[in-house]
Amino acid sequence: MHILVTDATGALGRLVAGQLIAAGHMVTGIAELPHPCLDRNVEFVCAPLRDRVLRELADEADAVIHLAPIDPSVSGSADMDGLARVTDAAARAGSRLLFVSQAAGRPELYRLAEDLVSSSWGPTVIVRIAPPVGRQLDWMVCRTVATLLRAKVSAQPMRVLHLDDLTRFLVLALNTDRTGVVDLASPDTVNLITAWRVLRATDPRSRLHRVRSWSQLIPEMNASAAQEDWSFKFGWHALDAVADTARGLVGRRLDGAGAINHGGRLALPVEVLAHSRRPADDAHSAAPEGIEGEFDDQIDPRFPVFSSSALNQALPGPLTPITLDVQLSGLRAASRVLGQALALGDAVGEEWGSRAIAVFGHRPYVGVSVNLVAATQLPGWDHEAVARDALVGRPHVGDPLPFGEPALASGALGSVAKAVAAGRSVALLRHLRADTRAYGAAATAEHLDAGQLALLPEAALEVRLRLLRDRIHQGWILNALWLIDAGVSAATPVRSQPHRSVPGMGMITDSGLVAAEIAGLAAALRADPPLCALAQEGNLASIRALSPKTAAVVDAAVARIGHRGPGEAELASATFADDPTMLLIAAAAAAAVPAPSPTPGERPAGARGSRELAHDTTMRFTHELRMTLRALSSLRVEADLIDDVDDVYYLTCNELVTLPGDARLRIKRRRTERERLQVQCPPDVIDGAWVPLPPSADGPDPERTAG
């Protein structure tokens, strides 16, 4: 269907529009201001609702979802006049109108609005929602939080509604012909005192003077109608929804127009910045026609050189669509946070934000050209190492900056840029250790094992996908901040404690934890050749029988790093917990060579441990998402919505939340494309363009370089 969404660039509008696109609908959005997080597949019209274009858009739409606020006290409100115009345009076009009304809002305003919509001669649905909550702290959620924190403490039960469930319901409602009024509220309740404590624990000193309150925090609602009449399944229970709101409050301050980042703490990312793959004037396709992957990037000729060597161990390609959707968007979010420390010009800043890490042949590549520019500014980043790791031994690669270095990369402007970058870097690191510890604690608190996941309904698994995606993005941002810390430490060395400089953005996936565990296991095997021989065969059962002590060492290692494994950031990969023999065989291979001598000049244990904690926790959340995908796939196969449990890896996160009608066709097409890209693999280094090479070709030979 063709759907028109008003206030498409608001927080709720962006959520709804993105989910509608994933479900296979054509979406047109109208709003007075653009927003970078609006899905790029949305046809956006920047105009007020009083513009005559509204009628034209409504004429083309099968349904209209009116999300623009009508409360005049809300920033950017469309008022009742906007609602009247939308209702009239939808009625004239014969389009179905969905209007979101606030059950907690002022009765004299929202009842009048509901009467206006219900009196339309066209088909209408009024979705009357309970006080909204969730980590997406828009104006509605901020108002709910402020009302709760101001409310008289009592044990009175209340219902809430998570924005995830509102979004899912609106998509569901489009697939029915039902009309009328429906109350939407969580199926269970939470006590006011419990909700107050959960929210107040996040920030005991929350300032509420900027935010208004709802008129009725506990409105009368028919909570069963959505489930019984509409067959809607809620993903969030009331207490969990309030707790998720508290997650979003960390590092943010309430505001009447929506929460804003505040206080220096790292806020949990709650949406993905739209990544454009459409043709651009200053970029071109890197592969021959018919070879480029669905998720591939283009190349700006000003920044033509890319290298895959730094990332292919953690992210071996061709990656599955779900991995590209979750992990690469997380790495891009991390690069944008790094960009906050950089004093880059417009062109370089745009390149850094979009292609500091890029995708070609569904494989991740580090943008060597733009990393060279960044390395001249960030303290402790090694400009020469960036070039050396990617370019040495590859004579066919041309100048990584063919149009010359930007003005900010050298000279007087370069010195100023370095000073600015150094100051911003230090500012970003103020709460890094505390944020990292909190991130590790969150992984423990939010862990669910396979048995617990099997008990969750499908709707709960769907909303968990989005939360885990946000957590993974938070982890990559922390890893990026630790790169800044590593650079600052390298630039200000302490006597007798030399530090390794940072060889570019590719270092973000570096980790020594698994290697250390393998080395410890190898030491146990090295002293016993018969056991080492069994380990080489992966014969764990015989090792258990012959040496329970060694088997216990293996089990302990699996308990610590069972969530890790080869290609660990790929969501379709098996882990050491899935197959402990992989860890055993790796340890046997390490035991076959002499133990390495300690490396001098390693970083202090505290900094090294914190950075490893950030990376390991990112992989823990990755495994949580992997396990959730497995649980969801079992339910989808059982319901005959997909054919194979591995099909979930060929859909994006939003597509898994609201399965598109052509899901089987998308899965089949993407499976075929991945099989093709396994054969038509790009080279290790790309210079402006690439042609497929046999996957058996390797090394820094000219054949492995395209240009």
Q: What is the pLDDT of residues 292-319, one digit of tens each?
A: 999 999 999 999 999 988 898 999 989 9
Secondary structure of 198-239 as H, E, C letters: HHHHHCCCCCCCCCCCCCCCCCCCCCCHHHHCCCCCCCCCHH
Domain 2-261 class in CATH: alpha beta
Higher-pLDDT residue of 331 and 603 is 331
pLDDT band for 401, please (50, 70, 90 cuts).
Answer: confident
Picking from 85-89, 421-425, 702-706, which range would have the lowest pLDDT averaged per residue? Answer: 702-706
CA dist 327 and 315 (Å) reads 9
User: In 10 A of CB 664, how many CB atoms?
Assistant: 14
Q: What distances in angstroms separate CA 224 from CA 101, 169, 227, one per listed residue?
A: 18, 14, 5
Is the pLDDT at 140 greater than 70? The verdict is yes
367, 303 in Cβ contact below 8 A? Answer: yes
Is the pLDDT at 375 greater than 90? The verdict is no
State residue 415's pLDDT score.
61
pLDDT band for 634, please (50, 70, 90 cuts).
Answer: very high
Residues 6+ apart with CB under 8 A from 216: 103, 104, 105, 107
CA dist 440 and 462 (Å) reads 23
Is the pLDDT at 25 greater than 50? The verdict is yes
pLDDT digits (tens, 9 = 90+) for 169-226: 999 999 999 999 999 999 999 999 999 999 999 887 778 888 999 999 999 999 999 9
Is the pLDDT at 119 greater than 60? The verdict is yes
CA dist 16 and 375 (Å) reads 39
Compute the Cα dihedral for 245, 247, 250, 252 and give only its sign: negative
State residue 276's pLDDT score.
62
Task: Provide the whole-model pTM.
Answer: 0.93
pLDDT band for 499, please (50, 70, 90 cuts).
Answer: low
Is the pLDDT at 582 greater than 70? The verdict is yes
Is the pLDDT at 275 greater than 80? The verdict is no
State residue 504's pLDDT score.
87
| Extents of the domains making up the chain | 2-261
106 sits in the region (left: phi over 0; alpha: psi -120 to 50; else beta) called beta
User: Which percentage of the chain shows pLDDT scores above 70?
Assistant: 91
State residue 144's pLDDT score.
97
Structure tokens at 282: 């200053």
State residue 425's pLDDT score.
67
Query: What integer is the mean pLDDT of 55-78?
Result: 96
State residue 699's pLDDT score.
45
Is the pLDDT at 436 greater than 70? The verdict is yes
Query: What integer is the mean pLDDT of 136-143?
Result: 97
**326 CB-contact burial (10 Å; exposed 0-12 / middle 13-18 / buried 19+):** buried
Is the pLDDT at 288 greater than 80? The verdict is yes
**Cα Rg, the chain, nearest whole Å:** 27
Using CA atoms in the order 376, 378, 380, 386, what is the torsion angle rounded to 10 degrees? -50
pLDDT digits (tens, 9 = 90+) for 219-266: 999 999 999 999 999 999 999 999 999 999 999 999 999 999 887 789
Structure tokens at 649: 């890896």
157, 221 in Cβ contact below 8 A? Answer: no
Residues 6+ apart with CB under 8 A from 530: 546
CA dist 365 and 368 (Å) reads 9
Structure tokens at 124: 């209408």
Residues 6+ apart with CB under 8 A from 674: 318, 320, 362, 650
Residues 6+ apart with CB under 8 A from 560: 517
Picking from 453-457, 505-509, 586-590, 699-703, which range would have the lowest pLDDT averaged per residue? Answer: 699-703
Using CA atoms in the order 52, 54, 58, 60, what is the torsion angle rounded to 10 degrees? 70
The H or E element spanning position 420 is: helix 411-428
What is the identity of the amino acid at 502?
Answer: V
N-terminal to C-terminal alpha carbon distance within the chain = 43
State residue 697's pLDDT score.
46
Structure tokens at 420: 């600015």
pLDDT band for 539, please (50, 70, 90 cuts).
Answer: very high
Query: What integer is the mean pLDDT of 414-421?
Result: 62
Query: What integer is the mean pLDDT of 108-112?
Result: 96
pLDDT band for 416, please (50, 70, 90 cuts).
Answer: low
